[in-house]
Structure 1
Amino acid sequence: MDYRIVEKEAFQIVGLSYEVSCKNGQNFIDIPKLWEAFNHSDAPSELYSKGDGAIIGVCLDGQPDKETFTYMIATKVTPDEADSEKKYTARTVPAATWAIFTSTGPLPDSLQNVFRRIFQEWFPATGYEHSGGPELEVYFEGDTCAEDYHCEVWIPIMKK
């Protein structure tokens, strides 16, 4: 798998927040529907104009034993922008060591495949484990249906 390990300081995000069920893989059905609604709204242009050029899908407060988690469609902003934003939810993504994986291909299938491989193949084969922080999907502008579309999956990690 194509990945790199990077240290990042905490940063601010603003965006739309949703409660998602992961029971029986429902998140693999519901999250693409959230993105479909998002993409047909004014939110993408508003968030692109506020952020640093990427839209981020953020899996917050997910735990292996929980049946739901908070999912945000957001963008990275400065602390001042996060404090002044009233239309969107503001959160802090904590400092972490991240394993950053590249996903290539049309969404959502290519991204969902990368997530499965991270948890079924990469974690068991490495000396790392999930650190319990939020997971990020970083989407760059482009045709998300193209065979060569690139995005990233950021997983917070720590040594076993």
Structure 2
Amino acid sequence: MLDPRFTQRDGLTVVGLHYRGTNEDDEISNLWEQTDAHADEFADLARSEEWFGLCFDFDHESGAFSYVAGVETESEAIAPSEMERVDVPGGEYAVFTTTLDTVGETTDEIYREWLPSSGYERADGPEVERYGESFDPEDANSEFEIFVPVEESND
């Protein structure tokens, strides 16, 4: 069973490349590869060396969702025309550590096992992947964090 840590997080603004679909053909990996072509724009926008992946706007019927791969920026930043800006609300988050090799399994376990038995429910807002400065995308075992917005369950 997963054992997350909990944190209160301030809101943040992420600007990045956008994808919407079901990720059947590994489109999210391709989206991350496309970030290299925008390196100068990201460097101008970034507040730190961290990168973020945001999952939001889930359609449970079709399985489609939106995903943004990008950087944290100033709240008043304007996204370049080929990018999208997403404001992530502050609040309480359950934080899970995972790797590229285990992210699918970790995400399944979060929503199928941990969340239903945790005393929490999913709060509004995107699921946030935080890739710290030490993350190496070439190493499938390099760790990153998944922040799931939560609130105490009323049950």
Q: TM-score range by the shorter chain?
A: 0.7 to 0.9
Q: Which runs of 4+ in 1 moved over 4 A?
A: none
Who is 2:120 aligned against? 128
Q: 2:26 aligns with which of 16, 24, 29?
A: 29
Who is 1:56 aligned against? 52
Q: Decide whether the 8 Å contact of 2:17 with 2:31 is kept in 1.
A: no
Q: Decide whether the 8 Å contact of 1:2 with 1:102 is kept in 2.
A: no
Helix, strand or coil: the match of 2:102? helix
Helix, strand or coil: the match of 1:43? helix
- Gaps of at least 5 residues in structure 1 are none
Q: Decide whether the 8 Å contact of 1:99 with 1:157 is kept in 2.
A: yes
Letter in 1 for 2:97: T
Q: How much has 1:75 moved relative to structure 2?
A: 1.0
Helix, strand or coil: the match of 2:26? helix
After superposition, the C-alpha distances for 1:6-34 in whole angstroms (9 at most, x for unaligned) are 11222211111111226xxx2x7332232
Who is 2:85 aligned against? 90
Who is 2:103 aligned against? 111
Letter in 2 for 1:67: G
Q: 1:155 aligns with which of 124, 148, 151?
A: 148
Length-normalised TM-score, structure 1: 0.78
Q: How much has 1:151 moved relative to structure 2?
A: 0.3
Measured at CA, do residues 53 and 130 of structure 1 come closer, stay the same or move farther in structure 2, by a change above 3 Å?
A: same
Q: Decide whether the 8 Å contact of 1:38 with 1:44 is kept in 2.
A: no
C-alpha separation in 2, matches of 1:147 and 1:34: 17
C-alpha RMSD of matched pairs (Å): 2.3
Measured at CA, do residues 18 and 49 of structure 1 come closer, stay the same or move farther in structure 2, by a change above 3 Å?
A: same
C-alpha separation in 2, matches of 1:45 and 1:128: 40
Q: Decide whether the 8 Å contact of 1:9 with 1:94 is kept in 2.
A: yes
- When structure 1 is superposed on structure 2, of 120-129 and 140-149 the one drifting more is 140-149
Q: How much has 1:63 moved relative to structure 2?
A: 4.3
The reply to whether residue 143 of structure 1 matches residue 136 of structure 2 is yes
Q: How many residue pairs were aligned?
A: 149
Who is 2:73 aligned against? 77
C-alpha separation in 1, matches of 2:31 and 2:124: 24
Who is 1:101 aligned against? 96
Measured at CA, do residues 101 and 48 of structure 1 come closer, stay the same or move farther in structure 2, by a change above 3 Å?
A: farther
Identify the structure with the greater helix proportion.
1
Question: How high is the sequence identity, in percent, across the aligned residues?
Answer: 27
Q: Decide whether the 8 Å contact of 2:13 with 2:73 is kept in 1.
A: yes
C-alpha separation in 1, matches of 2:43 and 2:6: 26
C-alpha separation in 2, matches of 1:112 and 1:97: 23
Length-normalised TM-score, structure 2: 0.80
- Gaps of at least 5 residues in structure 2 are none
